[in-house]
Amino acid sequence: MLKQHLQFKLSQKLSPQQIQLMKLIQLPTQAFEQRINQELEENPALESGKEEKSSLDDDFDEDYEGESDSESIAAEDINIDDYLSDDEVPDYRTRANNYSPDDDEKSIPYAAGMSFNQYLINQLNTVYLNDQEWAIAEFLVGSVDESGYIRRPIADIADDLAFTQNIYCEEEDIQRVLKIVQELDPPGVAARTLDECLILQLKRKERTSNIELAINILDKSFEQFTKKHYNKLLQKYDINEDELKEAVLEIEKLNPKPGGSYAGSNKVIEHIVPDFSIKIMDGELDLTLNGRNAPELHISNEYSNMLAGYKSAKDKSKSQKDAVMFIKQKLDSAKWFIDAIKQRQQTLYITMNAIMQYQKEYFLSGDERKLRPMILKDIADTIHMDVSTVSRVANSKYVDTPYGTKLIKEYFSESMKNEEGEDVSTREIKSILETVIRDEEKKKPLTDDKLAAILKDKGYPIARRTVAKYREQLGIPVARLRKQI
């Protein structure tokens, strides 16, 4: 049985304008400029630069805001179903601003240059090889990754040569050609393991006693070397500490990723443009928003005039009605975009100003020990905005301070209580931990237990596992791996 009934309910739904604003807020300065240029190209009703006011602009402003009903365009002149979609938004706006297929990722083009593999192939042209050796060598070069290693077993390479290249050969043949490939530049290329890579580089150097000792250590005692069991190495090779130190120094000069320097030369170099600037003026903090975040945009006078011309026309054809619908869509879009940019500027400034005032002691002194514990909710409550909005600002924006340019999210940290019951920032504890490790005796580095005891003596009672977590976040290895001769 079919029946009709009414149901009332409240639901939250983001409008395309809100989505547009959120996307603009999270963009850093350079990406924001690209987004503005993209909108200027797509919307002819939007123009950059200072607006040249005319008498027709005043008429348009009145009509656009609906302040003059007598002169407004009659509703029957426009097909409302064609003009509006859900939430009274032109459908072209929903297509262009909601992650649709036409929202392609835009990236900066850059020169391709020569690939690392092609660089190796060009070197092979100078080596005499028969047809089969050349095919094997070319396949091996193709197997070299960006770091400069061949990370596949020889047996698998032999199988692939047989199935894909119709080349049947023994593993010994591949090993022989591999040695030829390993003679190419940069030294250490086409190695299968780290120790082999380092040994290949050492063999290119002039053979001295230090080099010979370093090769022996890597070839026969690599595990003991990586674990820094220096006492065992001293006994095994019957050498003194100075000799071992010289050999270790030679190894430390080597490049563990020979292909890394070449592969990285073709990558896009990203330049950081600060979104904010904080200066100290007469003992007070002065915050400014990067001028590139405040572009001068206005609605096209030409499109406004076209709309005014339609109103004055006595005979309105279907083509004119279609044209005015397109014009109104573009004008709406331009107005929304300008409003969104103004809201973006206001949101960025309010959020950064709240952060600056919250961390005022730090920004005045530059002493990281004065950084207060601060989480996203602290700022969100201060400016009466959502946590997600603060997160969008903090995660992608940089601020230029008297102490360097830093990512805003670096100023956020959790808190813990010291022995006096005061809340202190975890950044402060990490800074002290880093200082203690830097000043430790390198021959006998401090274990996590000893580090925890030192921090406790300084008034920060934290557990050993917490020390280990902070140490890992700082990128500092365990005590055994920090040991030096």
Do 407 and 422 belong together in one domain?
no
**Predicted pLDDT at 50:** 65
On the question of pLDDT at 199 being above 70, the answer is yes
Range of the domain at 428: 417-482
Name the DSSP class of 282.
T
Domain membership of residue 423 (yes or no) is yes
CA–CA dist 64, 52 (Å, integer): 18
Q: Which of 10-14, 61-65, 385-389, 480-484 has the lowest mean pLDDT?
A: 61-65
Structurally, the chain folds into a number of domains equal to 4
What mean pLDDT do residues 76-101 have?
44
**Predicted pLDDT at 187:** 87
Do 322 and 342 belong together in one domain?
no
Do 234 and 318 belong together in one domain?
no
Of the pLDDT bands very low, low, confident and very high (cuts 50, 70, 90), residue 295 is confident
Query: Where is the domain boundary, 411, 444, 472?
Result: 411
209-220 and 241-252 are packed helices; what angle lies between their axes, rounded to 10 degrees?
80
Query: 422: how many CB neighbours lie within 10 A of its CB?
Result: 10
On the question of pLDDT at 13 being above 60, the answer is no
Do 280 and 374 belong together in one domain?
yes
Query: 460: how many CB neighbours lie within 10 A of its CB?
Result: 21
Do 478 and 380 belong together in one domain?
no
Phi-psi sector, 86: left (phi>0), alpha (psi -120 to 50), beta? beta
**Are 298 and 51 a contacting pair, CB within 8 Å?**
yes
Of the pLDDT bands very low, low, confident and very high (cuts 50, 70, 90), residue 73 is very low
**Predicted pLDDT at 247:** 85
Query: Where is the domain boundary, 352, 387, 411?
Result: 411
What mean pLDDT do residues 88-112 have?
46
> Which pLDDT tens digit goes with each residue over 403-433?
888 888 888 876 666 555 555 667 777 778 8
Long-range CB contact pairs, 220-229, < 8 A, 24+? 222/195, 225/251, 227/480, 227/481, 228/480, 228/481, 228/483
On the question of pLDDT at 378 being above 70, the answer is yes
**Predicted pLDDT at 452:** 84
> Which pLDDT tens digit goes with each residue over 216-239?
888 888 888 888 888 888 888 888
CA–CA dist 139, 142 (Å, integer): 5
Token pair recorded at residue 142: 């193709």
Domain membership of residue 196 (yes or no) is yes
> Which pLDDT tens digit goes with each residue over 435-467?
888 888 877 888 888 888 888 887 778 788 888
On the question of pLDDT at 66 being above 70, the answer is no
Q: Which residues pair with 287 in a beta bridge?
A: 278
Do 37 and 97 belong together in one domain?
yes
Mean pLDDT of all residues in the chain?
A: 76
On the question of pLDDT at 116 being above 60, the answer is yes
Domain membership of residue 3 (yes or no) is no
On the question of pLDDT at 84 being above 60, the answer is no
Of the pLDDT bands very low, low, confident and very high (cuts 50, 70, 90), residue 353 is very high
Domain membership of residue 11 (yes or no) is no
Query: Where is the domain boundary, 411, 434, 466?
Result: 411
On the question of pLDDT at 71 being above 50, the answer is no
Do 323 and 351 belong together in one domain?
no
Do 365 and 386 belong together in one domain?
yes
Domain membership of residue 178 (yes or no) is no
Cis amide bond preceding 186, omega within 30: yes
> Which pLDDT tens digit goes with each residue over 132-188?
888 888 888 888 888 888 888 888 888 888 888 788 888 888 888 888 888 888 888
**Are 378 and 358 a contacting pair, CB within 8 Å?**
yes
Of the pLDDT bands very low, low, confident and very high (cuts 50, 70, 90), residue 354 is very high
Residue 447 CB partners (closer than 8 Å, separation 6+):
479
Do 390 and 447 belong together in one domain?
no
**Predicted pLDDT at 307:** 67
